[in-house]
A and B are shown apart, each in its own frame.
Chain A
Amino acid sequence: MPYAVETRDLTRVFAGKKKHWWRKPKPNEEESRGPVTALDGVSLQIREGELFGLLGPNGAGKTTLIKILATLLLPTSGKAFVAGNDVTKDPFPIRQRINMVSGGETSGYGLLTTRENIWMFSQFYGVPSKVSKARIDELMHAFGLWDKRDAKVRLISSGQRQKMNMIRGFVTEPDILFLDEPTLGLDVNAARTIREYVMNWVRGQSGKTVLLTTHYMAEADEMCDRIAIIDKGKILACDTPENLKRMIHTQTTFRLEVDPLQDTSTFQRMDGVVNFSLRDDASKNRTELTFILENEAPVAEILSAITAQGAKVHALRKTEPTLEDVFISMVGRGFE
């Protein structure tokens, strides 16, 4: 079975701005003039049924990759296949199977209602009107846009607009859906509605694939089966969120809140304890202990050593390294 998406050594270079003798360069334009390598030898394989995330800072090349896969941009070199078809040579069968939604999109016509706009776009995929209208009604309920079904698009809020765009993406029942920062600028509830719908859509049926880009670490972590970290057009790592986090932290971190202890020397001698630290919280008359462990095995021994001293454990928390940590360790800087 072909991959839903496959790229081989995919490279895209944007030519710099041409110099025109009649145009004076603007002061800070010099830097933006040279050619930009937006994608640099990207090789990826996304399996059918995967919810795949692309994580990277501004200008990393995420949108460029999606545009190439959506047959809107030609690669400079290398190959890209969607549903087994070459994006350069055979776009028609790809276009039948894909759709794309970008955050902050302003598509459609302001004079049409949300429903009319979505219907219009579905016509470009040959969806019969009756089928299209039934699907739109169903999706509008699912996204909580039903009461805005007859509102003109130029009068709805940006969050409602984004929901409309999402429905536009789903109404053609694509096999592969590209989502470019779909929750950009949305409030918590709207973002959650969208995330949950996307996850159910991929996992609740077979044969559906999503390629998602996002700036939100937690979102990528929560949603994606696998994540590729991309920076300056290069893929730095590609794995499940768990494995990515394991890559940088082979150790686990535990935090405990306990009654003040007399003897803490025994902890250092235990097997599997890499390090620990303690901090007294005088106001609560408690001590906070942080353990860095090779694995979770020593936890039981630590707890019994504490209770043997007659002290009580008030809280025990295992804290995971976040994707953010992974990202910082790889890219050498955080987001934004």
Chain B
Amino acid sequence: MTAAVARRSDLRFRIGLNLRSIVGRAYPRVIGANREPSWIFFEAVLPLLSIAAYVYIYRAIALNQVAANPVDAPRILANMNALVASVVLGGAMVAFWLNVLWSMASQLYWEKEIGNLQLYMMAPMNRMALLGGMAVGGMFMTSVRAVSTLVAGVVVFGVVFQVANPLMLLAVFFVTLIALYGLGMFFASLYLLWGREAWNLSALMEEPIFFSSGFYFPLGGLYQSGGWGSVVAVLGSIIPAGLGLDALRQLTLGETAFGGKFWVLSAPVELEILVVLAVGFLILARYALAYLETLAKREGKLTSRHQ
């Protein structure tokens, strides 16, 4: 005969519980997704097509300019190489934005539909561990994809990067990811109440953000365009990918690329803003989820009707 097990609730237990929860929730993303080899086609090869479209346009423009002004050829070609590198970098980062939209933001809604959400909410783990696990798994899985796109891009389009400050580069990359996934965690909570409309919202946010965050061109150009262009660019920078990409481009192409004219801010300043965004989104996510969980429990929306 075993009596009811005494349950621990000290800090050490809670830390262990939540670390295990993060690992548990990240697991299906890390392992499960790579069990379908088709991802290589959809997520590493397909992005190359969008990249290629921009690359050929930029090349065509540059070659026209060279034909018209042969004396300036070295500057024009350097510019073109920087543009192509920007596009490859942006195309690789697109994977993260898509992952945040489709596998973070809409995730809780989807989990509710298949009946996982109620099991997650019933468990003693912290809710941030649930979101954190989703984010960690998503970051890992998507990094694999982004790197394959990057490598493919470098090989296919012959891009050359020059990294002077690898530590800074890593810092910007990781802070950008945390900010991006923090935003995804925040959206995930919001979507919980919006339900199916959320899918439409994700679809709506996909393309405009590609533009306003400068995935396929240096964002600074849009900033300086004046009028509505600047407004769109400022709004696009709230999506952490905008500033993150700008900083990543400065750190991989050199500050002097494009004659140093197309950058939004300097990389260190952008890193500082990204840190603020990351912390801000995480705090927002934490409170939004707590609030919306209570609301959902009150309205009976934590579980879908047929369960």
Contact = CB atoms under 8 A, between A and B. Distances in A.
Nearest to B298: A74
A107 B115 contact: yes
A175 B4 contact: yes
Interface string A90-128: 001101111110100111110110001001111111111
A121 B119 CA distance: 8
A128 B24 CA distance: 11
Contacts, number: 118
A328 interface: no
A131 to B, nearest CB: 11
A189 interface: no
Given A72-B118, A109-B32, A125 B124 contact: yes
Interface residues of B, number: 42
Nearest to A15: B299
Residue in B2, B17, B120, B123 with the greatest tally of chain A CB atoms within 10 Å: B123
A214 interface: no
Contacts of A116: 27-28, 31
A111 B27 contact: no
B115 A124 contact: no
Contacts of B123: 95, 121, 124-125
B107 to A, nearest CB: 12
Interface in B1-38: 1-5, 7, 9, 13, 16-17, 20-21, 23-25, 27-28, 31-33, 35-36
Contact of B9 (A93, A98, A107): A93
A173 B3 CA distance: 12
A14 interface: yes
A206 B21 CA distance: 29
A25 to B, nearest CB: 18
B122 A70 contact: yes
Nearest to B295: A74
Nearest to B29: A109
B226 to A, nearest CB: 38
Interface in B287-302: 294, 297-300, 302
A98 B307 contact: no
B170 interface: no
A126 B24 CA distance: 10
B5 A112 contact: no
A207 interface: yes
A71 interface: yes
Interface string A239-270: 00000000000000000000000000000000
What 5 A-B pairs have minimum CB-CB distances, sorted nearest first?
A123-B24, A126-B17, A207-B4, A124-B123, A111-B32
Given A98-B122, A124-B21, A124-B24, 6 more contacts: A72-B122, A74-B294, A92-B124, A96-B9, A111-B33, A124-B120
Interface of B: 1-5, 7, 9, 13, 16-17, 20-21, 23-25, 27-28, 31-33, 35-36, 114-116, 118-125, 130, 294, 297-300, 302-303, 307
